[in-house]
Amino acid sequence: MTGADFCELTSALKYDFFTGVPDSTLGTALKVLESDLRYLYVPAVREDNAVGMAVGAYLGGKNPVVLMQNSGLGLCLNALTSLVSLYKIPLLLVIGWRGADEFDAPEHILMGSASPALLTAVGIPFWIPARDDVTSSLSVASLRSRSENSPVALLIRERVID
């Protein structure tokens, strides 16, 4: 799936506020969000700031998406648990999954292997879509997030969104 396709799909699912921290795995989608005025994208300097902006956008009537690399997942766990989950904010997390395979840079390996366990530990359901399964995974995740008023996540491997 291309970055443009991903942005169109999220928009078709009624997501209308995007925030996040730059990530190479999600780079093509972020380039579209930054350059296409059809999308409301507010860049963040830290992942916990992005979560805070997304909550504010939700309280203001928007349907938010937060994009980040999985290294930032650890940084925003407190905001996700003590704010998003506690107050039942339906938030879509799109997480670039560095270190998913052992053929990544050494600094990504530990967090890569821990990311699914971290999401499970804090009760955030997640999907790991293949390139040809992003549409289905995103649709199911979106439905669950909205029906349960809860955060959900997509762990995106490299080259799933090009």
Q: What is the pLDDT of residues 29-80, one digit of tens each?
A: 999 999 999 999 999 999 999 999 999 999 999 999 999 999 999 999 999 9
- Residue 50 CA to residue 43 CA, distance in Å, equals 8
Instruction: Check if the beta carbon of residue 111 is closer than 8 Å to that of residue 70.
Output: yes
- Residue 117 CA to residue 112 CA, distance in Å, equals 10
Residue 105 confidence (pLDDT) above 90: no
35: nearest Cα among 69, 66, 1, 7: 7
**Looking at the domain assignment, is residue 79 inside a domain?**
yes
Residue 102 confidence (pLDDT) above 90: no
- Residue 148 CA to residue 13 CA, distance in Å, equals 16
Domains in the chain: how many in total? 1
When pLDDT is averaged across residues 104-127 and rounded to a whole number, the result is 91
State whether residue 17 is helix, strand or coil.
strand
**Looking at the domain assignment, is residue 161 inside a domain?**
no
Amino acid 30 reads L
Contacts of 158 (CB under 8 A, 6+ apart): 25, 96, 97, 98, 100
**Looking at the domain assignment, is residue 133 inside a domain?**
yes
- Residue 89 CA to residue 31 CA, distance in Å, equals 26
pLDDT of residue 155: 98
**Looking at the domain assignment, is residue 115 inside a domain?**
yes
The answer for 10, left when phi > 0, alpha when psi is -120 to 50, beta otherwise, is: alpha
How many other CB atoms are found less than 10 A from the CB of residue 27?
A: 14
pLDDT of residue 109: 83
- Residue 64 CA to residue 60 CA, distance in Å, equals 10
pLDDT digits (tens, 9 = 90+) for 4-30: 999 999 999 999 999 999 999 999 999
- The residue segments making up the domain with residue 119 are 3-156
**Looking at the domain assignment, is residue 97 inside a domain?**
yes
Lowest-pLDDT range of 4-18, 42-56, 108-122, 133-147: 108-122
**Looking at the domain assignment, is residue 48 inside a domain?**
yes
CATH code of the domain covering residue 22? 3.40.50.970
